[in-house]
Amino acid sequence: MRFTITGEWTRNSLLRLIIICFLIYATALWVTNALLYFNKMGLTYQSVVEYYLGSEARFLQPRSYQGLLEITHFHVFAMGILILTLAHLLLFVPMPPRAKLWLICLTFFAGIFDEAAGWLTRFVHPVFAYTKIGAFLLLEAALGFLIIAVLVAVARGLRNAYAETEGDVLTSQKER
């Protein structure tokens, strides 16, 4: 942590190697997430509904409560840790603090809705299939952007942007 806050991360080749190796793993997770999604369903309403509600024509059973629970249990933990780590690394990337805030919130929001949309499609109403498609695309785009932004900052040895904020973007004008 000290290396990123003090700016030494641009001069510490071992720390940069660790971050780049993490980003390789994050990229592998990002790619396999997309491959798993497209192996099960597509970007059409019908494919998502068939995956969650089943299809007699394709001999697909509806997703069970236990099956969804097991997948959600793993995904909530894994995606939460991934997004937390990427969001933490984004703090040190030179970009406007408000952009960081929006990107971090958007990524967490997309991750939660990606998980919730399957449940909503299966147990509430099939129209939530559109939410699943949108949340998946938003999550993939946000994760891709986070990975690339951190990779560019580390690979180029860009200066530490942690202390270069316009103040805490969550603090109101009266508190400053």
pLDDT category of residue 131 using cuts at 50, 70 and 90: very high
What pLDDT does residue 156 have?
Answer: 80
Query: Tokens 């805490």, residue?
Result: 168
Cα gap 23→152, rounded to integer Å = 11
Rounded CA-CA distance 9/1 in Å is 9
At 75-100, the pLDDT tens digits run: 999 999 999 999 999 988 888 999 99
Tell me how far apart the 2 most distant CA atoms of the chain are, in Å: 62
Enumerate the domain spans of the chain.
Answer: 10-162
Total Cβ atoms within 10 A of residue 65: 11
**Considering the entire predicted model, what is its pTM?**
0.82
Place of tokens 């969001």: 87
CA nearest to 43, candidates 146, 141, 135: 135
What are the pLDDT digits (tens) for 42-77?
A: 999 999 999 999 888 888 799 999 999 999 999 999
